[in-house]
Structure 1
Amino acid sequence: MSGTLARQHILVTGGGSGIARAAAERYHGEGARVTILERSASNANDVVSGSGGAIQSIVGDALDPEVLASAVELASDPGGALHHLTCGVGVFDFYAQVHELSPADLLEAAGESWRLNVLSALVAVNIAHPALVRGRGSVTLTVSESAFNAVGGGVLYGSAKWAVRGMVEHLAAELAPLRVNGVAPGGTSGTRFGGLSSLQQTSSADAVVGRDLRIARATLLGITAGPIDHAGAYRFLADPVDARAVTGMIIRSDAGRRM
């Protein structure tokens, strides 16, 4: 493989399923040396076996600094350089309504949403930063259409993704000349996107009745995207040649939902 991602060392957090998995597999297909950090051993094994063992994995909590440090070490080249970090950890809120929650439930659910959707990315950037500096690397955060419009979730999910949207610009300024960008997918089918355990939301977002049809009808393109439909945006932002002059930007792969 001779493309511009060939021999790039890339770490994808939450890379065992959904959009993050599609991004990891796209990087691998372009010749990158990819490592995923995934909390589900079965999901991690699926990705590794699907790549013929070429994609590496670490199973663990993406909020655990020791686990993240091990993942960065495994993902980096022999000189300790990491060329790209994609942050794909997230949790949905199944349209939870603040006025319907008890104060105790609200505090716990909001904390869980913030930790998984926001803090997980901040900790990953913090731990990976020295390796990214050595690799003159870049970061891609997973935002959401919910960071632009009051759709695609409730206020717990939406406010967390608004925070991630702000992180793109703030981290781009703080970490320059490292590039920091984001992808904001619209509603997506086939993600295994789980809900808040603090509210006993244990099923996947795909289980919401009529969700795919509702998403398609609300887009200009009339489609419900799958994870693979977002992978090209991630691939572009990870490319040290094609995206060399791109930082602080968010690609909105939402099929025209905002229109």
Structure 2
Amino acid sequence: MGWLDGQVALVTGGGSGLGRALVERFVAEGARVGVLELNSDKAKQLAAVLGDSGVVTEGSATSWADNRRAVAETVAAFGRLDTFVGNAGLWDFGTSLEALPAEALPGAFSQLFELNVLGYLLGAKASIEQLRRTNGSMIFTGSNAGFYPGGGGPLYTASKHAVTGLVKQLAYELAPEIRVNGVAPGGMPTDLRGPAALGLADTAFGSMPVDQLMTRMAPLERPISAADYAGTYVLLASRENSATTTGSVHNCDGGLGVRGRKADAALMQDLFGS
């Protein structure tokens, strides 16, 4: 018996990274899963792996038509929708305001906010009718950058603070029929890319020494994989275990927000020795 037996979820950006880990964990917990995935190769590979447990829609999370089609194809395959997971996103690779070229700033802002914020709104709107029928839930992928500075540059940090606002506003608007929550992961080696306007469309977050960074920076002092974050999404999707939870963003970033004195001590050690 799984926590999500008999449920149906729809995940955006489920072809790799955190999204792929969510799809795999949801299936393991008894759910059947629809996926909206932009990359054709990832979509085909995932469809082959999922078989009868999933349906994959090729399309963009920033397209209203593609979000509607993903909901329709998921419901056509499995008869219902219980959870919408807004997950597809971009990172700005920590580009500071001073380092952002003025001529590229409007385009980078548009690309990042279009996927990280508008994409969630479009998917949420497309799924409302079906989720209301099942008294379902929405879960949005936030970030430690939605709570603290330093998890990205100003574009990413602002977009993830906006996600926190979406969670609270939509929880207010859609209660009591639909619960709305968020998950705020920390770093993990994935294929997460950056905005094309900054020349980062072909740069993957996983190309950085993420495991070393998390081991060094987070109080838990260990590498964290995408799969390590999936349990929080399962918890929030579970009616039995999160029946009273809405309007919350669950921070599961390895303790980055409380690293304070420990990080300071390590820095002092590097600078001045023992």
Instruction: Provide the residue aligned with 2:102 in structure 1.
Output: 103
Give CA deviations for 1:127-147 in whole Å, capped at 9, x if unaligned: 111111112110000000011
Q: Deviation at 1:226? A: 0.6
Instruction: Provide the residue aligned with 2:154 in structure 1.
Output: 155
RMSD of aligned C-alpha atoms?
1.6
Q: Deviation at 1:169? A: 0.9
Match for 1:196: what amino acid? P
Structure 1 stretches of 5 or more lacking a match? Answer: none
SS in 2 for 1:172: helix
What is the percent sequence identity of the aligned residues?
Answer: 35
Give CA deviations for 1:107-164 in whole Å, capped at 9, x if unaligned: 1111111101111001110111111111211000000001111122111111100100
SS in 1 for 2:94: coil
Structure 2 stretches of 5 or more lacking a match? Answer: 259-274
Q: Deviation at 1:74? A: 1.5
CA separation in 2, counterparts of 1:93 and 1:78? 36
Q: Deviation at 1:212? A: 2.4
Give CA deviations for 1:70-107 in whole Å, capped at 9, x if unaligned: 11011126796311100111001111122223322111
SS in 2 for 1:98: coil
User: Which is richer in helix?
Assistant: 2
Q: Trace 1:61-140 onto structure 2 (pairs within 5 A).
A: 61-76=60-75, 81-140=80-139
User: Where has structure 1 moved over 4 Å in runs of 4 or more?
Assistant: 77-80
SS in 2 for 1:42: helix
SS in 2 for 1:242: coil
- Indicate how the Cα distance of structure 1 residues 135 and 199 shifts in structure 2: closer, same or farther if over 3 A, else same: same
Q: Report the count of equivalent residues.
A: 256
Match for 1:122: what amino acid? L
CA separation in 2, counterparts of 1:39 and 1:214? 29
Q: Deviation at 1:188? A: 1.0
CA separation in 1, counterparts of 2:223 and 2:107? 32
Is residue 91–residue 116 contact of structure 1 (8 Å, CA) maintained in 2? yes
Is residue 10–residue 76 contact of structure 1 (8 Å, CA) maintained in 2? no
Give CA deviations for 1:44-91 in whole Å, capped at 9, x if unaligned: 222222234422100111111111111101112679631110011100
**CA radius of gyration, larger in:** 2
